[in-house]
Amino acid sequence: MEPAAVIFDLDGVLIDSESLWDRVREALAREHGGTWYDGVHRAMMGMNSAEWSGYMHDELGVRLSPAEILDHVSEALIERYRVDVPSLPGAAAAVRRMGRRWPLAVASSSPLRVIEAALAAMDIRGEFAAVVSSESVPRGKPAPDVFLEAAARLQVEPACCAAIEDSAGGIRAAAAAGMRVVAIPNPDYRPDPDAIGHAAVLLDAIAGLTPELLTPRDERGAP
């Protein structure tokens, strides 16, 4: 069945930002008395704003409040995006292709102001009827909350949505929401095989995303 809407993740799907998040948070942790070790970024992937800022304060020992941590990291990312947003090749074109056929949303773990800055810098904010941060829902990924909220704002049943994701937590979140998942595995933080197993479509890059991939052959019509 053809979807009625398409929901995109942001980090790792539209922008190559996972390593940037890693550098910004590591620098803040070291500057303010916290610890850092291999695997910290992967541990925080998918957490919402309250979860990861609390993790940095409680588990990594950063001597700032969670609210201050969130503010410092968000401002550093927004400043970077305004200068040079790290959009993935073909991402903006893929969004526009899909938007000509279906209503679109973003469902991301990033803070809303960071999402908005990235989309504005890519000049694609107008393509999305809804933009949802997991900071506005009770739980971050792999819980399905952010995808369910995005579907609700589009006024489309979750089972009628396709979700574009790159991470294990994101893929699991979209699958738990009952959505058809298109997985574009992040090469630096590759999802485990169990997570990838939830995907209906597997791509190497966002540039390869086309409406035809989500349209059953008998619904495409004549060329």
* Alpha-carbon dihedral sign for residues 24, 93, 128, 98: negative
8 Å CB contact between 185 and 166: yes
Phi, psi at residue 165, to the nearest 5°? -140, 160
Catalytic residue among 9, 11, 22, 166: 9
152: Cα separation from own chain's centroid: 17
Q: At what angle do helices 49-58 and 18-31 cross, to 10 degrees?
A: 40
Catalytic, 9? Answer: yes
Separation of alpha carbons 91 and 16, rounded Å: 10
- Measured CA to CA, the distance from residue 51 to residue 53 in angstroms comes to 6
How far apart are the C-alpha atoms of 158 and 140, rounded to whole Å?
17
Looking at the annotation, which residues are catalytic? Answer: 9
